[in-house]
Amino acid sequence: MYEPSRLIDSFYIKGFKNFDGAYALKKLKAGKRLDLVAEPDNPYDPYAMRVERKGIMLGYIPKEKNYMMSLMAFYGHEDVLECRILQVDREADPWQQVRIGIYIKDARKRNESCA
């Protein structure tokens, strides 16, 4: 059965308080899409995946979660992943203000006669 996308993981943005997340916080809302950018030359983690919204760096995918996403990006399959904001809590501690979800897109064709 066709699904537009399926949630495969969720977590808080790592390093949100260390980058430009505070500047963008007022504009972040649940459901908004975010961009994932691989950083293979990152000196701390060759599998680093940066999280951005309209060119503003918000932080990173947590290190313990980034390997498969980075590998997919390296081999040119980043377009099967979608990153969306699940929750924004402006009153929470900075490391728990923005929870995101990683979705895998369904590449199968939607059967319009069943819709």
Question: Given pLDDT bands bounded at 50, 70 and 90, which one contains residue 1?
Answer: low
pLDDT digits (tens, 9 = 90+) for 51-60: 999 999 999 9
Domain membership of residue 115 (yes or no) is: no
Assess if residue 54 is contained within a domain.
yes
Specify if 92 maps to a domain.
yes
Residue 42 lies in a domain: yes
**Does a structural domain hold residue 49?**
yes
Residue 16's pLDDT band (cuts 50, 70, 90): confident
For residue 84, give its domain range. Answer: 5-108
114 found inside a domain: no
pLDDT band at 110 (very low <50, low <70, confident <90, very high): low
CATH number, residue 62: 3.30.70.2330
Average pLDDT over all residues of the chain? 89
For residue 94, tell me if it sits in a domain.
yes
How many structural domains are present in the chain? 1
pLDDT of residue 18: 85
Distance CA 29, CA 88 (A): 6
Summarize pLDDT for 58-107 with one digit per residue, the tens.
Answer: 999 999 999 999 999 999 998 899 999 999 999 999 889 999 999 998 87
- What DSSP string describes 40-107? TT-SS-TT-EEEEETTEEEEE--GGG-HHHHHHHHTT-GGGEEEEEEEE-TTS-GGGSEEEEEEEE--
